[in-house]
Chains A and B, each alone.
Chain A
């Protein structure tokens, strides 16, 4: 397997998080992960009567009001507002003034599904007279990226990547590749999804979310009582820069993406090539932000992928799915959290873990915050039978 040739080191200089559990920049991460808070609760934005599922991690009402201008709030769809808000928080966090040459990569599973649904409903139920010319451009998959590029005055590429479960990790990985390959010096990369009544109903009726198999509803990664994932919503974006560019402007670096790899297929294994790109061995990895979200088969696939590299007693492995729900922003949230863990040596455990599955007992980090080695760790995104994305995140100056 050929290693990627790293031309530039990739550093994280800013974070913007808009989620059910917190909103803010890098400084917001530590307190919320130390607190053990979770945004998972009964859905309030739309009725779930008649559906088997009722839980999700919603953005609090009014969360976006302080983050977007009133004119933007009138003009942009909600998911575009989330994207713009998180991008803006990240740019402010990085103190990045000039965005004219910056690039933007938006990962999403569902895109602006609400606008698509509303536009279709407009002509299916109300006829041509019910259509707004403003609504249609929002139905194109790249609308969140476009709205943010326009508002931020960004003139580099703005690309949307659409993938199941790993869109956020993949967007960050592609952003890192752009910088490592010398194609860009600054990239805003992350993910976004919103809860929509239609999507929630479809996933609930298809038993794609908790509760499946008659279990109790809830997000329980690695637990014998796991009954499926719980959806969330929000956006997390990172400012990635080449080390040279960040140093030249005196930027603070929150951490480094030492290696990134992406593989697909039934036996995909992205962790080994990511370690190789980082110049690290499995024993150098002190902790893992995994993608387990409470789907037993999916979690087992993620665990197999980790055990193949680290053995049965691998590094402490956690998941943020019980904190902010499954959505494309969560993968980027994981990378942001990893920069904090790499520096602080603190790993938030899985608060909902009560009865670990035997295969996970050795590695799954239970409730509470765990002390882990300061140093490099892994962010791992998996879609069973599909993509496997691995990102090695290290503190600056780490020499492991």
Chain B
């Protein structure tokens, strides 16, 4: 068991809300984030729907043009309420760790298509969005971009917590982002992973996922540094695990996912029986949801059917590198408000996915210890154990 790390504040930019209040409200009322994509041509794509953010908040002066950077900076602006004092305390001890699946590929695509110059391409190749975020925050501590594909947001929170525990930084802004662009839409299109229907996690009729874009960030600090101020909760444990199975499909036995769940629980010093709520990866692909159900049953044991589990991908699509960070934030908001958002899109439960997936309506509950799971290309899996307040 390791020292918990305080989660002091959070900020989000999503297709269903561009601050915590709007995000939370949409999770409870079923605000629809899936729309026809308007920002780039989709007529030649098999699927033209996605969780697109139609209008970004006004950019600060001298903000970079890059959309990924703007998403991160918009999410970061919300960290100041609640985390302002810690953010301002010592720039040299403020670190940034962000996760992404595809980084600056949207900018790279523009450059390769001749719509932007060499400098745009050079910027897209590197870890520019994280650097731009650090610049916007005035952070002069370590800046790191990590990737475990669609589990990147969880990995970033975990690595951020390690930096706090190791004393590399006093305060860490950690989270994830990814943007929608033709490149990524084409990629999922050729893999035939996108549905022409809605996202229906754990539903009998589920037929694939849809993509979304967004950013989610949290402010991490040592317990004693956060003691005086407000907080959202604590990160008790995290772990990653590899399937070692297939580059683009989950291991049918879910070995990496199970490894990550058990290791995260061990690090947190939490027994599976103590879990009150699970935020599942729940992409609504036929294989993922079945594998995840089986792994949850193995890890949670005899209480598996009693513990509420949700997936929020139906609201806004799979936001890739942002997804795990947004889902961790959802967990903390669920604890704060005493309500678990439903699994949007789940109407006809699959008998093979027979856990309590909180269909249709929000559930009054008081979750305190929560498990959030994520998975990505290459068999990357990550789990977070969170404590709400």
- B358 in the interface (beta carbon within 8 A): no
CA distance A264 to B293 in the complex (A): 42
Number of interface residues of A (CB under 8 A): 68
Q: Quick check: which of B104-112, B294-302, B305-313, B366-374 contacts chain A, the rest being far away?
A: B104-112
- Please, what's the 1-or-0 string for B358-389, where 1 marks a CB less than 8 Å from any CB in chain A? 00000000000000000011111010000000
B-side contacts of A150, CB under 8 Å: 242-247, 378-379
Scoring A141, A156, A158, A261 by chain B CB atoms within 10 A of each residue's CB, the highest score goes to A141
Chain A contacts with B in 331-366, Cβ cutoff 8 A = none
Q: Are A142 and B118 in contact (CB under 8 A)?
A: no
List A contacts of B143 (CB < 8 A).
264, 386-387
Contact partners of B167 in chain A: CB under 8 A: 1-5
In the complex, A290 Cα to B378 Cα: how many Å? 34
Partner pick for A265 among B101, B140, B159, CB 8 A cutoff:
B140
A111 proximity list for chain B (CB < 8 A): 103
Residue B207 interfacial (CB < 8 Å): no
- List A contacts of B92 (CB < 8 A): 265
Interface string of A122-152 (1 = CB under 8 A from B): 0110011001110111111111011101101
B155 engages A109 (CB within 8 Å): no
A266 close to chain B: CB less than 8 A: yes
Q: What are the residues of chain B within 8 A of A271 when measuring CB–CB?
A: none
Taking a contact as CB atoms under 8 Å apart, the answer to whether B380 and A128 are in contact is: no
Cα–Cα, bound, A4→B168 (Å): 8
| Given known A-B contacts A4-B167, A140-B101, A159 and B159 have beta carbons under 8 A apart | yes
Residue of B nearest to A147 (CB): B247
| CB interface residues, A 1-57, toward B, < 8 Å | 1-5
Would you call B147 an interface residue if the criterion is a C-beta within 8 Å of the partner chain's C-beta atoms? yes
- Whether the Cβ atoms of B183 and A155 lie closer than 8 Å is no
Interface status of B4 (Cβ within 8 A of chain A): no
Which B residues are in CB contact (< 8 Å) with A133? 190-192, 248
Interface size class on chain B is: 35 or more
The proximity string for B residues 337-350 relative to A, scoring 1 for CB distances below 8 Å and 0 otherwise, is: 00000000000000
Contact status A109-B121, CB under 8 Å: no
Q: A173 — nearest CB in chain B belongs to which residue? A: B168
Residue of B45, B145, B248, B255 near A163 (CB, 8 A) is B145
A181 interface residue per 8 A CB criterion = yes
Are A177 and B149 in contact, with the CB atoms below 8 A?
Answer: no
Please report which residues of chain B, range 128-171, place their CB below 8 angstroms from some CB of chain A when the two chains form the complex: 131, 140-149, 152, 155, 159, 162, 165-168
Produce 1/0 per residue, B234-266, CB < 8 A to A. Answer: 000001111111111000000110011000000
Q: Which of these, B127, B141, B242, B378, contacts A137 with CB under 8 Å?
A: B378
Q: Is the CB of B149 within 8 A of A181?
A: no
CB of B374, distance to nearest CB on chain A (Å): 12
Q: Does B100 contact A (CB under 8 A)?
A: yes
> Known: A120-B109, A162-B127. Is A387-B142 also a contact (CB below 8 A)?
yes
User: Does A307 make an interface contact (CB < 8 A)?
Assistant: no
Give which listed residue, A128, A140, A164, A202, contacts B118 with CB less than 8 A: A202
User: Is the pair B148, A124 in contact by a Cβ cutoff of 8 Å?
Assistant: no
- B56 within 8 Å of A (CB atoms): no
Which residues of chain B are within 8 angstroms of A145 by Cβ–Cβ distance? 378, 380
Q: Closest Cβ of chain A: how far from B380's Cβ, in Å? A: 6
Residues of A contacting B127 with CB < 8 Å?
162-164
Residues of A within 8 A of B148 (CB): 142, 157-160
Q: How far is the CB of A158 from chain B (nearest CB, A)?
A: 5
A110, CB-defined interface residue at 8 Å = yes
Interchain CB contact under 8 A, B376 and A142: yes
| Nearest-Cβ distance from residue B291 to partner chain A, whole angstroms | 15
Which of chain B's residues have a CB closer than 8 A to the CB of A119? 183, 186-187
- Interface contact A139-B144, CB-CB below 8 Å: no
Contact A162–B162 (Cβ < 8 Å): no
- Cβ of A104 within 8 Å of any chain B Cβ, yes or no, is yes
- Within the complex, what minimum Cβ distance (angstroms) separates A30 from chain B? 33
Residues of A within 8 A of B121 (CB): 202
Q: How far is the CB of A385 from chain B (nearest CB, A)?
A: 10
Shortest beta-carbon distance from A2 to chain B in Å? 4
The docked-state distance in angstroms from the alpha carbon of A111 to that of B247 is: 16
Q: Are A161 and B378 in contact (CB under 8 A)?
A: no
List B contacts of A311 (CB < 8 A): none
Contact B95 A264 (CB under 8 A): yes
Judge whether B187 and A154 touch: CB under 8 Å. no
> Across the interface, do A140 and B142 meet the contact criterion of CB distance under 8 Å?
no
Contacts of B162 in A (CB 8 A): 177, 181, 183
User: What residues of chain B lie closer than 8 Å to A181, measured between beta carbons?
Assistant: 162, 165-166
Picked from B113, B165, B190, the residue with its CB within 8 Å of the CB of A124 is B113
Query: Which of B142, B190, B240, B246 interacts with A263 by CB under 8 Å?
Result: B142
Does A372 belong to the interface (CB within 8 Å)?
A: no
Interface centre among A138, A142, A162 (most CB of B within 10 A): A142
Determine if B247 and A146 form an interchain contact, defined as CB atoms under 8 angstroms apart: yes
Chain A residues near B141 (CB, 8 Å)? 263-265
Q: How far is the CB of A149 from chain B (nearest CB, A)?
A: 4
User: What separation, in Å, do the CA atoms of A122 and B285 have in the docked complex?
Assistant: 26
Q: How far is the CA of A140 from the CA of B151 in the complex (A)?
A: 12
CB-CB under 8 A from A262, the residues of chain B are 142, 168
Tell me which residues across on chain B come within 8 A of A137, comparing CB atoms. Answer: 191, 247-248, 377-378
B380 touches A139 (CB 8 A): no
Is B242 a contact partner of A104 (Cβ separation < 8 A)? yes
Task: Determine the chain B residues whose CB is within 8 A of the CB of A153 once the complex forms.
Answer: 244
- A150–B250 Cα gap in the complex (Å)? 12
Interface digits, B169-199 against A, CB 8 Å rule (1 contact, 0 not)? Answer: 0000000000000110011111110000000
CB distance from A121 to the nearest CB of B (A): 7
- Smallest CB-CB separation from A205: which chain B residue? B118
Distance in angstroms between the alpha carbons of A340 and B224 in the assembled complex: 43
Are A143 and B187 in contact, with the CB atoms below 8 A? no
A141 near B239 with CB under 8 A, answer no
Q: Is the CB of B379 within 8 A of A164?
A: no
A-B residue pairs, 5 tightest by C-beta: A146-B378, A157-B240, A265-B140, A136-B187, A2-B167
Residues in chain A within 8 A of chain B (CB atoms): 1-5, 104, 109-111, 113, 116-117, 119-121, 123-124, 127-128, 131-133, 135-143, 145-147, 149-150, 152-164, 170, 174, 177, 181, 183, 199, 202-203, 205-206, 208, 261-266, 386-387
| Supplied contacts A157-B155, A162-B147, A265-B140, 8 more A-B pairs, CB within 8 Å | A3-B167, A120-B108, A131-B186, A140-B101, A142-B378, A149-B378, A159-B148, A183-B162
Show 5 A/B contacts (Cβ-Cβ < 8 Å), sorted by A. Answer: A123-B182, A140-B376, A141-B102, A157-B148, A181-B166
